[in-house]
Structure 1
Amino acid sequence: MKKEVQLMKTQKKIEILQKMIQINSVNNNETQVADYISSLFSPYPDVDIQKINYAPNRDNLVLTIGKNKGPILGLSGHMDVVAPGNRADWNYDPFAAVIADHKIYGRGATDMKSGLAALVVTLLELLEQKVDLPGKLRLLATVGEETGEYGAAQLTKQGFADNLAGLIVAEPTSRMQKIVYTARGVIDYKVISYGKAAHSAEPQHGINAIDNLIVFYHLALERLLKFTETDAVLGGVTHSITKIKGGEQVNSIPSYAELMGNIRTIPAYPNQYFYDELESIIAELNQKEGFKLAIAYSFPEEAIAGNPDSRIIQLAQKTHLQVLGSVAKVTGSSGANDGAEFLQAKGHFDSIEIGPGSATSHQSNEYVEIDDYLNAINFYKQFALDFLKDKQIQTDYTGID
């Protein structure tokens, strides 16, 4: 008589996601999420669990299952969320994880605790069923994705993504209906202008830091227009000045001003092109009398070129049709993700981005459809098995266990 395989009950899967949402990890406090995830795996002795500290209350989590030698599939999800904004705009407490109309509401429900929870449940079910994996699955749960992918950068530098055979990033992709293989890069930069204070009645005795910053502002907007090439999937480069401040009081010539800019890049233009252009403007202006400008960058990410014909894409399409009954659209993303950091690890591998979620990321009343979340679990579980068992993946894999 064939032994019946027991699967985790649906209510338990939902409770895991609710618990993650209920942990307030707004740009901080990821350790509590990491500890909760770790606790779910404590009954299983054959799980390798490592917490990698980034800062107080900020721990990345790396969790690996599978005993056999063979390919390693990376599973990527971040534990931080953005601030909820004005709570009066929410119908429910953003950290209560309320269920209504077959949806779970809360900050991070879509971006991206539903994707992370689906990966976690996938691993738990494989352990419950004692599946003999022909390789390994490695969960890379990170801090700080929303503010710069610095958790992924730390894990990459410490070798946790080395020699992967592939990577799946569980960011939301239109209710699992898109498979993303290419993504824009991002450069966040800050320019500081130093001037000299003086009474506004005698401006000739000061140096106006705001005036000098505005000169940079216009030159930067003008000169970055020369990057005109477009990508068939991602479009063109975008550049926006998104934050500016300066001055001390209305009747004083400002001695300090700063602005922040955001550039979204495409594979045709490595980030160095933009560094060179911005820094040449700074150097040019600093040669002029009265100018003193400085520039700094915040966790820039290169664009992901990707390959729409890669084996991981082919397998994901096959699994998608089998499990979800539809053909997923293979496309790109205008936003950056942790994959940009992990792809810098040793070895060569391709990544895809696919996950549950609605079009409510970073909005009030963020939610995920419960059915989408449960479908994601089914997809990830089958995809992981399809990937590790694939003969081409096994043949091409040259990693070191």
Structure 2
Amino acid sequence: MRIDTFKDEVQMMKNQKKIEILQKIIQIKSVNDNESEVADYISSLFSRFPETNIQKFTYAPNRDNLVITIGKNQGPMLGLTGHMDVVAPGNLEDWKYDPFSATIADNKVYGRGATDMKSGLAALVVALLELLEQKTELPGKIRLLATVGEETGEYGAAQLTTKGFADNLAGLLVAEPTSHMQNIVYTARGVIDYKVKSYGKTAHSAEPQDGINAIDNLIVFYHLAIERLLKFSKTDPVLGGVTHSITKIKGGEQVNSIPSYAELMGNIRTIPAYPNQCFYDELEAIIAELNQQQGFKLAITYSFPEEAIPGKPDSRIIKIAQRTHQNVLGSEAKITGSSGANDSSEFLQAKGNFNSIELGPGSNTSHQSNEYVEINDYLNAIEFYKQFALDFLQDKQIRKEFPAAD
């Protein structure tokens, strides 16, 4: 009885350290910025393992991507990725606890990023630390890609892809939240954020004929864009159809002046049936058509567009993940898709031919007030990631197809 109690206490101590790592990462305010502090903290956890390769790459001041590689060259390389940035907490009065306190209550950790996706990132970190502590012999390599700027355009993943850190991976796991780790996501929508600027000519509102109303011209574009993008009407059996929303609009100088400038922003969520170029062509055709008319002067720009991820529901990485899920978590995971984009859209553009999955801890509170992760989900994710990495690197089919990490 005493031995069992002692074992339980030791395990509690171990779990407490894992939870503290998650809390520390949540407490770092990396709201669309300041990822360097997260990268520095994670790096410090690996500094006592000389066999670990730790590399940082600056995207902008205070914004460092982090790459941590463990294992040997013989055998395939598994990529694991999570982003270090979070969205703004919004109205603080809507939170039960300070969003950066990482408060524990009701077997949950509350805080901005607890679900999206610092619990997934922390679970990857702890899984690798435990493999190192246990001196586990890896039949290949594991590479952690911790990125900046996922929430605002995946430009950290784009930078690491350009630098070659995803080249020739055998597979990639994205630790984004997937319904308490019950879903394995293989396909995802793409995203196009665009801005249209309308230039007019100011005049007194009592004499509107002397000016050019930039808002009126923008509204013409608005209606044409909504109407013409309806032509992309195919639906994906997993992801559904294309969505297009005008999400932001502003313009004008004052109420008694004809506005000389206006702008709007639109958001398109794409599906694999339609490459992003289809939407660029349609939007730019509308712009060109209107600019041929007297008084119109419109211009369009795009912000970090991402292609949809078609994926393969029967890929080897999914089969391995299903088996590990059953063995570690005792349940059968659902194979599905995601309406949101993620960093794999960038990483899949790397050299080689590999598949990705999305699987991570977290609740349905992403981007919401009182965001939380259940502690058991987080601890289960750690155990899953450890075993999945070994199962993947030892898989005969993977080793045959990807014989060397470098």
State the TM-score, normalized to the length of structure 2. Answer: 0.97
Residues 1:82 and 2:87 aligned together: yes
Deviation readout 1:298-345 (Å, 9 max, x if unpaired): 000000000000000000000000000000000000000000000000
Amino acid in structure 1 at the alignment position of 2:271: I
Residues 1:114 and 2:119 aligned together: yes
Task: Give distance in 2, aligned partners of 1:265 and 1:108.
Answer: 25
Residues 1:50 and 2:46 aligned together: no
Of 224, 235, 250, which aligns to 2:240?
Answer: 235
| 1:280 aligned partner | 285
Q: How many residues matched?
A: 397
Query: RMSD of the alignment, in Å?
Result: 1.1
Amino acid in structure 2 at the alignment position of 1:149: E
Amino acid in structure 2 at the alignment position of 1:224: L
| 1:226 aligned partner | 231
Amino acid in structure 1 at the alignment position of 2:169: L
Of 305, 316, 319, which aligns to 1:314?
Answer: 319
| 1:97 aligned partner | 102
How many angstroms does 1:399 deviate by? 5.4
Answer 1 or 2: which has greater helix percent.
2
| 1:140 aligned partner | 145
Deviation readout 1:232-251 (Å, 9 max, x if unpaired): 00000000000000000000
Amino acid in structure 1 at the alignment position of 2:274: Y
How many angstroms does 1:400 deviate by? 5.3
Amino acid in structure 2 at the alignment position of 1:137: I
**Aligned-partner SS, 1:313:** helix
Task: Give distance in 1, aligned partners of 2:74 and 2:294.
Answer: 65
Amino acid in structure 2 at the alignment position of 1:235: G
**Aligned-partner SS, 1:110:** helix
How many angstroms does 1:119 deviate by? 0.1
Task: Give distance in 2, aligned partners of 1:120 and 1:245.
Answer: 43
Of 293, 299, 302, which aligns to 1:294?
Answer: 299
**Aligned-partner SS, 1:147:** coil
Q: Is this contact kept in 1: 2:141–2:405, CA < 8 A? A: no
Task: Give distance in 2, aligned partners of 1:324 and 1:376.
Answer: 9
Task: Give distance in 1, aligned partners of 2:257 and 2:156.
Answer: 42
| 1:212 aligned partner | 217
Task: Give distance in 1, aligned partners of 2:209 and 2:349.
Answer: 51
How many angstroms does 1:68 deviate by? 3.7
Of 366, 370, 377, which aligns to 1:372?
Answer: 377
Task: Give distance in 1, aligned partners of 2:241 and 2:369.
Answer: 29
| 2:250 aligned partner | 245
Residues 1:165 and 2:170 aligned together: yes
Task: Give distance in 2, aligned partners of 1:381 and 1:46.
Answer: 18
Of 257, 260, 273, which aligns to 2:262?
Answer: 257
Structure 1: runs of 5 or more not aligned: none
Deviation readout 1:196-226 (Å, 9 max, x if unpaired): 0111011111000000000000000000000
| 1:36 aligned partner | 41
Task: Give distance in 2, aligned partners of 1:219 and 1:399.
Answer: 52
Task: Give distance in 2, aligned partners of 1:276 and 1:259.
Answer: 18
Q: Is this contact kept in 2: 1:165–1:399, CA < 8 A? A: no
| 1:61 aligned partner | 66
Structure 2: runs of 5 or more not aligned: 1-6
Task: Flag as ranges the 4+ runs of structure 1 deviating above 2 A.
Answer: none
Task: Give distance in 1, aligned partners of 2:402 and 2:59.
Answer: 31
State the TM-score, normalized to the length of structure 1. Answer: 0.98
Of 113, 128, 136, which aligns to 2:133?
Answer: 128
Task: Give distance in 1, aligned partners of 2:357 and 2:67.
Answer: 19
Task: Give distance in 1, aligned partners of 2:94 and 2:366.
Answer: 15
How many angstroms does 1:67 deviate by? 1.9
Q: Is this contact kept in 2: 1:315–1:383, CA < 8 A? A: yes
Task: Give distance in 1, aligned partners of 2:232 and 2:127.
Answer: 43
Residues 1:198 and 2:203 aligned together: yes
Task: Give distance in 2, aligned partners of 1:86 and 1:22.
Answer: 18
